Amino acid sequence: MGPIAVGNPEQIADTMERWVNEAGVNGFNIAYAITPGTFKDFIELVVPILQERGLVRKEYKGDSLRDNLFGKGSQLPDHHPGKQYTVNAEILN
């Protein structure tokens, strides 16, 4: 499947930080080892350590995922092909 980090939360954070620094990794796909506890444990135990080290954000500037990913607002630009599929919110109510 790929490289695996195993250990206590500090060791896992150390491994992830090393991957970022040595290989320029800019994101991770987290897979579960024991479901559903794996994701919960990672979020509660490893993410705070990564946040303290400045490797994971604590807050985001944008008001949507789209804005935080691309920094161009929360709506599609008018020239985007997907803009033609915008639904009038009044119709949904």
Count of structural domains, the chain:
2
Q: Are residues 92 and 78 in the same domain?
A: yes
Coil/strand/helix, residue 7: coil
pLDDT at 35: 74
User: Same domain, yes or no, for 46 and 66?
Assistant: no
For residues 17 and 48, membership in a common domain is answered with yes
Q: What is the pTM of this model?
A: 0.69
- Are residue 55 and residue 65 in the same domain, yes or no? no
Q: Residue 78's pLDDT band (boundaries 50, 70, 90)?
A: confident
Range of 22's domain?
Answer: 1-59
18 & 52 share domain = yes
Shared domain check, 8 and 48 = yes
Q: Do 46 and 73 fall within a single domain? A: no
